[in-house]
Amino acid sequence: MCIICIDLVRGKINSKDALNHMVERIDEIDEKHMDRILDLISEKKEEEEGEESDDEEEAPIFPRS
């Protein structure tokens, strides 16, 4: 695993940063590994979107006057 994969798995970077890091090193990454990184980024993105929807559900509701 590369540092991008390790940081994604450990939760040290978000999906956007991981994608940016991958693009910076695109010439050094073989196709098979790039597919794996993209899978991890997709999983992380879904996780982030799930957290955002959880936050919206927990937003306080103020009674109307």
Q: What is the pLDDT of residues 18-59, one digit of tens each?
A: 999 999 999 999 999 999 999 999 999 999 998 877 665 555
Mean pLDDT of 4-28: 95
For the chain, the C-alpha Rg in angstroms (whole number) is: 16
Rounded to whole angstroms, the Cα distance separating 48 from 44 reads: 6
- Between vectors from CA 33 to CA 29 and to CA 15, what angle results, nearest 5°? 90
Rounded to whole angstroms, the Cα distance separating 41 from 17 reads: 9
Q: What are the sequence ranges of the domains in the chain?
A: 3-45
